[in-house]
Chain A
Amino acid sequence: MNKNLGFLGFGTLFGFVLSRTGASDYDLIVGMFIGYDYTLVGVIGTAIITGAIGMRILNKFKHPVKNGEPLKVKAKELSRWSILGAGIFGLGWGITGACPGTVLAQLGEGKIYGFFSFIGMIFGTYLYARLKEKYPLL
């Protein structure tokens, strides 16, 4: 199948599931950080465990990638600023009650504040590109 259409399909499934489990719900995300609701810890934890088991099984396939290519799994490299970036990201996560994936589901649900979180993320990425001109190591 066409790769773009495939990703449209997988993205739709992802957004649908995020919305069904309440991962796009402000109260569940912020409530998790304050310690009132651990539903999303369950969602993320189950996802990590399922993903880990799935990758183990995939690695046992004769052809882990359908077209016969070798599997390309690469750890993301850290820069000296990565931890700081992660902290900044976390603050945004706790402020908006959204992350780059769940905000898209919020958008689809018609949440107006989610739309502004989304616009903020686009400008935040733009800001990174501007900073990167001055500070190439970022």
Chain B
Amino acid sequence: MILEIYSNIFINPWPYWAGGIIIGLLVPLLYYYYNTALGVSTGYGNLVKILLPAGKLKWIQEKYPDPWNWRVYFIAGIILGGFISSTLSGNFGFTLDMGRFTTLVGWPTIAGVIYFFSGGLLLGLGARIAGGCTSGHSIHGIANLHGSSILVTIFFLIGGIIAANLVQAVLMGGNW
């Protein structure tokens, strides 16, 4: 019995609704405890200020007076959460495995590195222009019925659908 509960929490993948409920609860919980909107991507500006020579950039100076605020801790926590989940389920390991990208796109590692870096570049740039990401706009914003977040999320999805279908058609030869 206890073993079964343990397996269902730490080893077996969760059903979608269990994860959705907990992620959704973060929205009111963060307001209740800290009067703060759920959001991840703004914290990447903290990392820019901490890691890159961004001292002269006005936007960074104005938006991030203290880069060591809660956003960095939230980011660190998400990394730690992924580590705990994969370690307890026995899946942790430094790996080049990226599902069907690895099995269907026969690229050398360096090409893969450039590919994922470039996609990340679009994510970082796009999130700032759009004013948020999946957590801030799509989950927090829509849960609060904000029209701007609904509109932005529609365009997130359009971009994702275009990119993924192109990747499948061109790089994966139409396979899946």
Contacts and interface: CB of A to CB of B under 8 A. Distances in A.
A55 B125 contact: no
B80 A11 contact: yes
Contacts, number: 501
Chain B interface, >50% SS class: helix
Nearest to B47: A122
B64 to A, nearest CB: 10
B164 A30 contact: yes
B82 A92 contact: no
A110 B92 contact: yes
B148 to A, nearest CB: 5
A27 B100 contact: yes
| Band of interface residues on B | 35 or more
A97 B101 contact: yes
A90 B163 contact: yes
B86 A109 contact: yes
Contact of A125 (B112, B125, B161, B162): B125
A121 B78 contact: no
B155 A96 contact: no
Contact of B123 (A57, A66, A69, A121): A121
Contact of A76 (B117, B126, B136, B154): B136
A16 B124 contact: no
Interface in B9-32: 9, 13-32
B156 A43 contact: no
Contacts of B123: 89, 92-93, 96, 98-100, 103, 117, 120-121, 124
Contacts of A78: 131, 148, 151-152
Interface in B100-150: 100-101, 112-113, 115-149
A7 B81 contact: no
Contacts of A17: 14, 19, 22-23, 81
Q: Which 5 A-B pairs have the closest CB atoms?
A: A90-B159, A120-B120, A11-B77, A124-B124, A15-B81
